[in-house]
Amino acid sequence: MTFLLVDLRLCYFLVQIIFLFDVQKNVFFRYIFSLAITFAYRNSGNTASLTSNCRDIEDNLTLESKAKQLKQLEQRECELQKFKIPWQALIAEIVVVMFVILLVAIKSYKIVNDETRLRLTGELNLTSIAQVQAVLDTPHITVNTLQFEDSPGAGAAATIILDKLEVLIHRHQLRTEALGYCASACAAAFLLGNGRSLLPSGDGKPTYLMLHAVRNQRTREVNYGKTEAINKKISQKSGAKFPLKLLNRIFDDVRGHGDGEIFIFREAQRTPQGKHHVFVCDGQPHVLISECEAIPNVTPQSLGIQVSK
């Protein structure tokens, strides 16, 4: 049972990492994940079965059928078998641990340097931001652009991460680019760039931003002061093209909890009312973007955002 719990914990951790990795596009890692779970489950089952067999022997031993000394010897042997680790179980543990370490290493720091750009892919975290800072502090560095790709933003420490990105963007006068989705802290950091460009995604999916209010990670309460301060900076960076009136629509929601969201699409999205780039959602679950309020006659360009090929 001990091995089963260990394997399940490792497999659960591996699930979290693998889903950060876009499993649908990575057949190889899906195969490795399945193999690791198969090994872990099979060998955990063997261990549980061995323990059960030992218990059966203990139950069947009686003073009438066995000499006392033989009983003691058999019980001792069973106790030893309980703690014996099959070689397959060891291999399964090693396989799972190795791939967890590999996936964490790949996902937490995926920065591509093409001499002028640093690309941040996936969730933003303090480790990746520290690595970006180390690269930017290198003498004679030629990087002038931060590029965000398929980023849901930041989980823990989102406010700290956004503050650090703002400092780096200001200190190094960085432009920002986004391809795929860029949400939450990613969208805010993108809009604080000294020049902002939306690029087409490589997989045919739409490129868009999703901006919402700053929240306390523990209580989930909206930090209105911090949100309003960021909105003012975003408007200033755009040369007032991104009006505060529109930015403050993120506080619009049915429940009055500041759960509103602003979506900005690189390409116009088809709705029953026509094609639109910008939408304001009320924080309720929506399946289609057309279920949100479309803002007519507003494009990324009109908000001070370039649309690049």
Residue 73: per-residue pLDDT: 61
Per DSSP, which regions of the chain are E strands?
Answer: 117-121, 145-151, 175-183, 196-199, 208-212, 261-271, 274-281, 293-295, 306-307
Report the domain count for the chain: 2
Model pLDDT for residues 99-158, shown as the tens digit of each residue: 655 554 444 444 454 678 999 999 999 999 999 999 999 988 889 999 999 999 998 889
Q: Where does the pLDDT of residue 285 fall: very low under 50, low under 70, confident under 90, or very high at 90 and above?
A: confident
Q: Are 35 and 95 in contact (CB under 8 A)?
A: yes
Q: Per DSSP, what are the bridge partners of residue 264?
A: 209, 278
186 vs 65, residue with greater confidence: 186
Q: Which of 58, 85, 107 delimits the end of a domain? A: 107
CATH number at residue 122: 3.90.226
Same domain, 186 and 285: yes
Distance (Å, rounded) from C-alpha 179 to C-alpha 198? 6
- In tens, the pLDDT along 76-99 reads 666 655 545 566 666 766 766 566
β-strand pairing of 175-183 with 196-199: parallel
Let me know: does 113 contact 135? Beta carbons within 8 Å: yes
- Residue-wise pLDDT for 6-58, tens only, equals 444 444 444 444 444 443 334 444 444 444 544 444 444 443 443 444 444 44
Residue 204 binned pLDDT confidence (cut-offs 50, 70, 90): confident
Which residues share a beta bridge with 177? Answer: 147, 197
Shared-domain flag, residues 213 and 161: yes
DSSP letter at 192 equals T
**Is residue 296 pLDDT above 70, yes or no?**
yes
Q: Do residues 93 and 7 make contact, with C-beta atoms less than 8 angstroms apart?
A: yes
Matching residue, tokens 């400092």: 167
Same domain, 168 and 65: no
Query: pLDDT (tens digit, 9 = 90+) per residue, 216-228?
Result: 777 778 888 999 9
Residue 30's pLDDT is 45
Q: Which domain holds residue 103?
A: 2-107
Write down which residue in 75, 107, 139 finishes a domain: 107
Output the CA–CA distances (angstroms, integers) from residue 185 to 152, 182, 196, 273, 294, in the order listed: 8, 8, 15, 30, 23
Token pair of 15 as six digits: 């699930």
Judgement on whether residues 81 and 126 belong to the same structural domain of the protein: no
Task: Please tell me whether residues 241 and 297 are part of one structural domain.
Answer: yes
* Last residue of one domain, picked from the residues 60, 80, 107: 107
Both 131 and 162 in one domain: the answer is yes
